[in-house]
């Protein structure tokens, strides 16, 4: 295989869709797997739908995901510019070439005329009329006008588009890496507009020209493009260019089988039944691990195959395993539950140091603690974290004395003699020289025994007294980390305050 060069070619017309991220990921994985080049090309040829900031949003999301292009608007490259809006002369040149060779023609039809044609066809039962062999000779174009008329129209600066001349009676056989062989009839393809009246190219022209000029070896994109492949094939043929290999990816849907849409989604915490948020930014904001999201969407339409039951993959492992041949044909449904599970799996595999670093700012803002202390806190909390930045949220008591005691836990765990035993325990641990987990445990069990109660009768009230909540890491580790002074203080406070709550 020659050098692999692939591109992710989004149009900056709104938010960054999760399906787009997967397309980018597959392109990236494929490129890395083959030591190829991953290119970002911005397809901003529709200036009516252009959304300012969309490109930047896209690039920052790719950066977050760690799937940065080798060539693109930011990193440059020998095939630039990578904004199609900056390449209009190129497309015009190729459109002119097609015109010259008779593979394309001028069309002067106004949108009203086009609309009238479609309306009329509709009345005749033709729902989606095509501008093609069966109708082009009834329209106002350089096929029906004389050369003089055309030149005159051009001289008068009448708006025109350039259309692709699709031959009648042609079969197009598309060989797709994921779908196999798919056949289309030219009757089904219309004389696609190649150059719009504003001088900008349509997707089809720009795409084919750029893929060729940028020496793209494999086009990996969403299934929605499959049916326009015949037009592209025709263009390659007219230009006498070798078309790239094609791989059309299955779509991703909501749990209810509908298209993922941003419309009715407020937030990830408040999803309507059956819906899922398609906006990559929402997942970034929520605090998902990039590795987890990538891992999850990689598995939506791809798997490593027989004999490999792994679910958790690092990006490196994905690169190693990925192949287009193992991409599925059928659409997948996005399941937040599995993403959440993977997120936890990836968090558990991280180093406490990196998690500490990520929580550092928020924690320090709340209370200054040593790096070492923070890292020990993280070590205790790590496997209880659902999101990497939740340290302060689920472990506030490592940084502050509790100011409230969970009423449900008070009700369940606090008994009439709890205060008395807790004070006794407090007095006993005060005497400890080495405040280690095991020393504390020994003392606690001794105190329990002295009072003829099970250790749990002491363990739960102590946890409540020290943390204010009923859940958390192993009690003795927690107390040891907090330190004698803090623990004794909290026990005494709680012994005085909790009985008043009952």
Partner RNA sequence: GUCCCCAUCGUCUAGGGGUCAGGACUCGGGAUUUUCGAUCCCGUAACAGGGGUUCGAAUCCCCUUGGGGACACCA
H or E stretch at 164? strand 161-164
Burial class (CB in 10 A: 0-12, 13-18, 19+), 102: exposed
Q: Does residue 420 have an active-site annotation?
A: no
Strand partners, 106: 162
**Min separation Cβ 491 and RNA, Å:** 15
Task: Give the nearer residue to RNA in terms of CB position, either 188 or 361.
Answer: 188
**Min separation Cβ 297 and RNA, Å:** 9
Angle at 65 between CA 60 and CA 69, to 5 degrees: 70
**Min separation Cβ 160 and RNA, Å:** 7
| Helices (H), ranges, 192-314 | 203-213, 229-239, 280-286, 290-298
What does the alpha-carbon distance between residue 202 and residue 192 come to, in Å, rounded to a whole number? 9
**Min separation Cβ 35 and RNA, Å:** 26
Token pair for residue 494?
A: 């709680």
Helices 456-467 and 418-430 cross at an angle (nearest 10°) of 80
Token pair for residue 258?
A: 């509908």
Backbone angles phi, psi at 425, to 5 degrees: -60, -45
| Helices (H), ranges, 299-335 | 315-321
Task: Give the nearer residue to RNA in terms of CB position, either 3 or 305.
Answer: 305
Distance of CA 470 to the CA centre of its chain: 36
Query: Active site residue: 93, 122, 259, 262, which one?
Result: 262
What does the alpha-carbon distance between residue 339 and residue 345 come to, in Å, rounded to a whole number? 10
**Min separation Cβ 166 and RNA, Å:** 12
Task: Give the nearer residue to RNA in terms of CB position, either 78 or 125.
Answer: 125
Beta strands in 285-366 (DSSP E): 332-333
Task: Give the nearer residue to RNA in terms of CB position, either 151 or 456.
Answer: 456
Task: Give the nearer residue to RNA in terms of CB position, either 327 or 356.
Answer: 327
**Min separation Cβ 345 and RNA, Å:** 7
Task: Give the nearer residue to RNA in terms of CB position, either 240 or 453.
Answer: 453
**Min separation Cβ 96 and RNA, Å:** 17
Task: Give the nearer residue to RNA in terms of CB position, either 77 or 255.
Answer: 255
For the chain, how big is the Rg over CA atoms in Å? 32
Backbone angles phi, psi at 482, to 5 degrees: -65, -35
Task: Give the nearer residue to RNA in terms of CB position, either 11 or 282.
Answer: 11
Q: Give the three-state DSSP class for 249.
A: strand
Token pair for residue 122?
A: 């509709």
Strand partners, 78: none
What does the alpha-carbon distance between residue 439 and residue 433 come to, in Å, rounded to a whole number? 9
The full length of the chain comes to: 502
H or E stretch at 109? none
**Min separation Cβ 381 and RNA, Å:** 9
**Min separation Cβ 285 and RNA, Å:** 22
Full DSSP string of 370-437: -HHHHHHHHHHHGGG-SSTT-HHHH-GGGTS--SS--HHHHHHH--TTHHHHHHHHHHHHHT-SS--H
What does the alpha-carbon distance between residue 228 and residue 232 come to, in Å, rounded to a whole number? 7
List the catalytic residues. 262
């Amino acid at each position: 295989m020659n050098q692999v060069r692939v591109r992710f070619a989004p149009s900056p017309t709104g938010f960054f869709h999760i399906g787009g991220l997967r397309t980018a990921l597959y392109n990236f994985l494929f490129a890395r797997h083959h030591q190829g080049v991953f290119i970002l090309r911005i397809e901003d040829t529709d200036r009516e739908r252009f959304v300012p900031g969309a490109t930047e949003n896209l690039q920052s999301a790719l950066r977050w995901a760690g799937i940065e292009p080798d060539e693109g608007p930011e990193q440059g490259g020998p095939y630039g510019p990578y904004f199609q809006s900056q390449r209009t002369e190129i497309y015009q040149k190729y459109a002119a070439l097609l015109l010259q060779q008779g593979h394309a023609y001028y069309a002067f039809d106004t949108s009203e005329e086009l609309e009238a044609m479609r309306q009329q066809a509709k009345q005749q039962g033709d729902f989606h009329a095509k501008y093609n062999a069966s109708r082009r000779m009834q329209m106002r174009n350089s096929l029906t006008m004389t050369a003089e008329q055309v030149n005159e129209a051009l001289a008068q600066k009448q708006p025109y588009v350039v259309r692709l001349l699709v031959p009648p009676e042609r079969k197009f056989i598309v060989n797709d890496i994921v779908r196999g062989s798919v056949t289309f009839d030219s009757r089904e393809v219309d004389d696609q507009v190649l150059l719009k009246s504003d001088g900008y190219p349509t997707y089809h022209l720009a795409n084919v020209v750029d893929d060729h000029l940028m020496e793209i070896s494999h086009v990996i994109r969403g299934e929605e493009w499959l049916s326009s492949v015949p037009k592209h094939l025709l263009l390659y043929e007219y230009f006498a260019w070798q078309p790239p290999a094609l791989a059309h990816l299955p779509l991703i849907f909501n749990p209810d089988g509908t298209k993922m849409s941003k419309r009715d989604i407020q937030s990830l915490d408040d999803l309507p039944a059956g819906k899922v948020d398609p906006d990559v930014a929402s997942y970034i904001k929520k605090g998902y691990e990039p590795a987890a999201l990538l891992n999850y969407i990689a598995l939506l339409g791809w798997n490593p195959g027989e004999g490999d039951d792994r679910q958790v993959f690092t990006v490196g492992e994905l690169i190693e395993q990925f192949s287009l041949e193992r991409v599925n044909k059928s659409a997948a449904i996005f399941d937040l539950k599995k993403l959440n599970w993977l997120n936890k799996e990836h968090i558990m595999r991280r180093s406490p140091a990196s998690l500490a670093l990520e929580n550092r700012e928020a924690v320090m803002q709340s209370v200054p603690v040593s790096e070492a202390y923070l890292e020990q806190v993280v070590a205790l909390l790590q496997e209880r974290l659902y999101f990497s930045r939740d340290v302060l949220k689920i472990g506030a008591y490592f940084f502050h004395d509790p100011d409230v005691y969970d009423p449900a836990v008070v009700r369940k765990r606090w008994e009439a003699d709890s205060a008395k035993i807790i004070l006794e325990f407090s007095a006993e641990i005060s005497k400890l020289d080495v405040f280690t987990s095991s020393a504390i445990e020994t003392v606690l069990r001794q105190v329990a025994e002295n009072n003829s109660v099970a250790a749990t009768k002491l363990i739960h009230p102590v946890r409540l007294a020290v943390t204010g909540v009923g859940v958390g890491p192993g009690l003795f580790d927690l107390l040891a980390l907090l330190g004698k002074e803090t623990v004794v203080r909290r026990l005494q406070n709680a012994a005085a305050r909790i009985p008043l709550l009952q």
